[in-house]
Chain A
Amino acid sequence: AAGVIQSPRHLIKEKRETATLKCYPIPRHDTVYWYQQGPGQDPQFLISFYEKMQSDKGSIPDRFSAQQFSDYHSELNMSSLELGDSALYFCASSLLRPLGYEQYFGPGTRLTVT
């Protein structure tokens, strides 16, 4: 069965650079979520989209932005990167309706900021 695809799997950037992470949800899933997991930390919710509209916002810095496109894939754009942005970034997708969904996670993108 198709799973959530994230690209790239690994990314190395320097401080103050920009990074773009991509997420391709499971076909027919209408909701995409982004999470950030720092070293030794639990995943933290960043932002979610339902039917291409932002549906919820968590602890996402103003330097980050995201969108969901017409084909339901999503991109997380990160500007003015800081060392503290080094983390695993997970994307998850689900079917929002009915309630009681399961979120399916991608393998993550490991971002290293040097």
Chain B
Amino acid sequence: SQQGEEDPQALSIQEGENATMNCSYKTSINNLQWYRQNSGRGLVHLILIRSNEREKHSGRLRVTLDTSKKSSSLLITASRAADTASYFCATDAVIQGAQKLVFGQGTRLTINP
């Protein structure tokens, strides 16, 4: 079954509002990453948070990680129309000596002007 699951699957908000997306996973991880994808385009790495970190900031992005609950959240503050995209969390684990990313289903974020 999938490692990362995201909630909500779709989110539509007004420009200027904050957007929060959640991700849950099932197994132990080394780190968790968030990616952004515009429709039909490549994945863009946003932020990585290690398993021993609880919160990380990058510009308008704030990521939290709760390893006891196996969950993470991505907060985008002061949203802009250009933030419209799909956002994926991906968990990283070492399996039999090899590292692998497993992606969640993604949250489709729409920012309405």
Contact = CB atoms under 8 A, between A and B. Distances in A.
A43 B43 contact: yes
Interface in A63-108: 88, 90, 92, 94, 96, 99-108
Q: Report whether over half of chain B's contact residues are helix, strand or loop; otherwise say mixed.
A: strand
In this complex, the interface size class of chain B, counting residues with CB under 8 Å from chain A, is: 20 to 34
B100 A103 contact: no
Nearest to A106: B42
A111 to B, nearest CB: 13
Interface residues of A, number: 28
B42 A108 contact: yes
Contacts of B95: 56
Contact of B99 (A35, A58, A99, A106): A99
Q: Report whether over half of chain A's contact residues are helix, strand or loop; otherwise say mixed.
A: strand
Given A43-B103, A48-B100, A100 B45 contact: no
A55 B31 CA distance: 19
Contacts of B48: 100, 102
A31 B105 CA distance: 24
A62 interface: no
Contacts of A33: 100-101
Contacts of A96: 99
Nearest to B100: A56
A105 B33 CA distance: 13
Interface in A4-22: none
Interface of A: 31, 33, 35, 42-45, 48, 50, 55-56, 58, 88, 90, 92, 94, 96, 99-108, 110
22 contacts: A33-B101, A35-B103, A42-B105, A42-B106, A43-B88, A45-B100, A45-B103, A48-B99, A55-B97, A55-B98, A56-B96, A56-B99, A58-B100, A100-B50, A102-B48, A103-B101, A104-B45, A105-B35, A105-B43, A106-B42, A108-B41, A108-B42
